[in-house]
C-alpha cells in the first residue's frame, strides 16, 4: 500500500543516476529507494548502472561461469557461491560482480546482519562485454587494493579469458599448464579449460573440472575446510 509517508520519502531521496559521485552510505540509500533498478555499482566513488543485457555477449557466458562454479561448490563443502551479490569493499566501492566464490569459515569476507557481503571474497568473476574497460582498469585496481586473491575477467568481444592472481600486492596472470588447463591457487581442484569455455563447449569444461574435483589436492582442501 502506497502511503503519503512513502511518497514523501521517495521524493526526498534523489534518484540514482549513472556517473553520480557518492559515498557508499548515500549510494546504498538511493539504490534501496529504487527497487526497479536491478544492478548499480559504486566504483571509486562513481556510480555505474548496467545497460540491458544481451544474450550471447553476457547472459550465456554468465550461465556457463555459474554452471562451472556451482558444480565446484556442490562438491566442496565449506565454500559459498554468489550470483551478482552487492559487495561492500570500502567507503568508495560497492561493486556487484557477476560471480563470487568465498571460503565460508576463516575466509576474507563475511555476511552482514542485513545480508550483504562485506570484505573481499577469495575469487571474483566479471563478464566483460561493454564493461571491459572498467573491469580491467578501475575494478581491477579496486579488487587488487582490497586484497581479492583471484580475479577472473571473460572479455567476450575479444574472445579472451584473463585469470589474475594476487602476488605481493600485484595482479599477475595465472599461467595455463602445458595440458591447456588453468588451475586455481586459492581453490584447489577448480580447474578450467579456457579454450573449451571460449568455444562454448560446456561439457568439456565440466569434464576437466571433474578431473580437478577427483584430484588429491582437492581432497586435501576438503580436509582443510572440515578442520
Domain that holds residue 188: 53-226
pTM of the full predicted structure? 0.85
- State the pLDDT at residue 7: 44
Of 21-30, 31-40, 62-71, highest mean pLDDT: 62-71
77: which DSSP letter? Answer: B
Q: Is residue 91 part of a domain?
A: yes
Residue 179 sits in a domain whose CATH number is 3.90.1570.10
Q: Residue 102: in which H helix or E strand, if any?
A: strand 99-103
* pLDDT (mean) for 105-113: 94
pLDDT score at 117? 97
Structural domain total, the chain:
1
Cα–Cα dist 204/221, whole Å: 24
Domain-located, residue 21: no
Asked whether residue 180 is assigned to any structural domain, the reply reads yes
Q: Angle formed by the axes of helices 202-213 and 60-74, to 10°?
A: 20
- Give a yes or no: residue 35 inside a domain: no
Beta-ladder partners of 77: 79
Domain assignment of residue 100, yes or no:
yes
pLDDT at position 176 is 94
- Domain presence at residue 123: yes
How sure is the predictor about 34, in pLDDT bands with cuts at 50, 70 and 90? confident
- Within a domain: 142: yes
Q: In this structure, what C-alpha cell is assigned to residue 5?
A: 509517508
CB 31 within 8 A of CB 50: no
Any domain includes 33: no
Say if residue 80's pLDDT is above 80.
Answer: yes
Higher pLDDT, residue 8 or 126: 126
- Write the pLDDT tens digit of every residue in 134-185: 788 889 999 999 999 999 999 999 999 999 999 999 999 999 999 999 999 9
- How many C-beta atoms lie closer than 10 Å to residue 58's C-beta? 21
Is the pLDDT confidence value at 83 over 60?
A: yes
pLDDT for the residue 131: 60
Amino acid at each position: 500500500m502506497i502511503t503519503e509517508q512513502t511518497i514523501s520519502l521517495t521524493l526526498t531521496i534523489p534518484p540514482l543516476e549513472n556517473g553520480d559521485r557518492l559515498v557508499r552510505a548515500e549510494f546504498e540509500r538511493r539504490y534501496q529507494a529504487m527497487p526497479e533498478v536491478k544492478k548499480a555499482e559504486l566504483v571509486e566513488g562513481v556510480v555505474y548502472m548496467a545497460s540491458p543485457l544481451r544474450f550471447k555477449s553476457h547472459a550465456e557466458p554468465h550461465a556457463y561461469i555459474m554452471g562451472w562454479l556451482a558444480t565446484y561448490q556442490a562438491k566442496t563443502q565449506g565454500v559459498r557461491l554468489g550470483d551478482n551479490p552487492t559487495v561492500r569493499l570500502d567507503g568508495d566501492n560497492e561493486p556487484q560482480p557477476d560471480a563470487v566464490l568465498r571460503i565460508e569459515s576463516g575466509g576474507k569476507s563475511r555476511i552482514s546482519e542485513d545480508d550483504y557481503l562485506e570484505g573481499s571474497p577469495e575469487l571474483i568473476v566479471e563478464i566483460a562485454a561493454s564493461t571491459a574497460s572498467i573491469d580491467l582498469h578501475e575494478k581491477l585496481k579496486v579488487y587488487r587494493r582490497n586484497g581479492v586473491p583471484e580475479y577472473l575477467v571473460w572479455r567476450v568481444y575479444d574472445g579472451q579469458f584473463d585469470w589474475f592472481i594476487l602476488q605481493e600486492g600485484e595482479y599477475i596472470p595465472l599461467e595455463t599448464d602445458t595440458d591447456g588447463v588453468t588451475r586455481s591457487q586459492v581453490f584447489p581442484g577448480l580447474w578450467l579449460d579456457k579454450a573449451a569455455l571460449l568455444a562454448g563447449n560446456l561439457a568439456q569444461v565440466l569434464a576437466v573440472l571433474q578431473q580437478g574435483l577427483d584430484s588429491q589436492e582437492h581432497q586435501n582442501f576438503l580436509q582443510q575446510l572440515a578442520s
